[in-house]
């Protein structure tokens, strides 16, 4: 799998008088997991929304494989190879688990509507192909076959998370944005998500991970960038971030036994 390189240069986003992202510069390379961490309100999701085009930057550049994409609409960025998950799983009501995953493969479709009207056999073949892609993706994220035809919106939270991950796979994107994929999951489910994230990078994709579970972040990340009040205060390897005094003060905190308890 060929991944895509994302580069943010002096990216800034303001909401009225509040600067949510302040001159953020960051590079996410193929074959690596780059985690973006920080306290609540630090600007992490805002950064993701700028990359996907949901929000427009006030200044700075977003480069995707060297091309500036600031002016591209969301659907064109998705077509170029940017795929994302959300803090809350986006499950289409009225569709089965399988159909929800098949939605992610729409840009990979080989036939247009007119082709289907003129040659319905081709449309049926296409549906079979997309179904097979979705089934393979669901198997990869460990969703049991007995759930495939059930309503996605009725599934347990962990399965809904898995549906989103399966939808990422069928999109065949080279750049993945994961917004708190382990939120609300138990230890076993989080371990599955961590393995999924690491495997996607090992396949060659570039992964930008926003996540509060620090054990998971430290386990799967090659690089970690730390935001605080919209500003990048540190970046480096997990070991470097773990021991960075500025990060400890702003986000990671200190152990009780290390605190000064003198009056």
- Average model confidence (pLDDT) across the chain: 89
Cβ–Cβ under 8 Å, residues 210 and 45 = yes
pLDDT on residue 113: 47
Cβ–Cβ under 8 Å, residues 33 and 204 = no
Two tokens, residue 149:
């035809």
* Segment holding 102, helix H or strand E: helix 97-102
The domains located in the chain, with CATH, are: 1-81+173-179+208-234 (3.40.50.300), 90-172 (no CATH)
Tell me which DSSP letter residue 33 carries: E
3-class secondary-structure state, position 171: helix
pLDDT on residue 84: 94
- Strand partners of residue 35: 209, 224
pLDDT on residue 255: 45
Closest to 78 in 3D by CA, of 221, 176, 166, 161: 176
pLDDT on residue 253: 59
pLDDT on residue 115: 52
Q: Which segments of the chain have a pLDDT < 50? A: 113-114, 116, 254-263
**pTM for the full predicted model:** 0.87
pLDDT on residue 256: 41
């Amino acid at each position: 799998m060929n991944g895509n390189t994302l580069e943010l240069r002096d990216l800034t986003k303001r909401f009225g008088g509040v600067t949510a992202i302040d001159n953020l510069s960051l590079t996410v390379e193929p074959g690596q997991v780059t985690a973006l961490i920080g306290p609540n309100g630090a600007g992490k999701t805002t950064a993701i929304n700028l990359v996907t085009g949901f929000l427009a930057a006030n200044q700075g550049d977003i480069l995707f494989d060297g091309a500036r994409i600031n002016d591209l609409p969301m659907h064109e960025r998705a077509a170029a190879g940017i795929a994302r998950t959300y803090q809350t799983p986006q499950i289409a009501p009225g569709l089965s688990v399988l159909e929800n995953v098949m939605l992610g493969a729409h840009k990979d479709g080989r036939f247009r509507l007119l082709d289907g009207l003129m040659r319905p056999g081709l449309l049926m073949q296409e549906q079979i192909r997309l179904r097979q892609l979705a089934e393979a993706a669901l198997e990869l994220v460990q969703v049991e076959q007995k759930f495939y035809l059930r309503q996605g919106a009725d599934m347990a939270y962990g399965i809904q998370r898995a549906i989103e991950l399966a939808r990422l796979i069928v999109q065949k994107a080279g750049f993945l944005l994961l917004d708190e994929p382990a939120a609300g999951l138990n230890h076993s489910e989080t371990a599955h998500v961590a393995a999924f994230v690491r495997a996607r990078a090992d396949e060659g994709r570039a992964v930008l991970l926003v996540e509060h579970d620090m054990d998971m972040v430290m386990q799967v990340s090659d690089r970690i960038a730390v935001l605080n009040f919209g500003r990048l205060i540190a970046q480096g390897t997990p070991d470097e971030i773990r021991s960075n005094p500025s990060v400890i003060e702003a986000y990671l905190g200190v152990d009780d036994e290390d605190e000064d308890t003198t009056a």
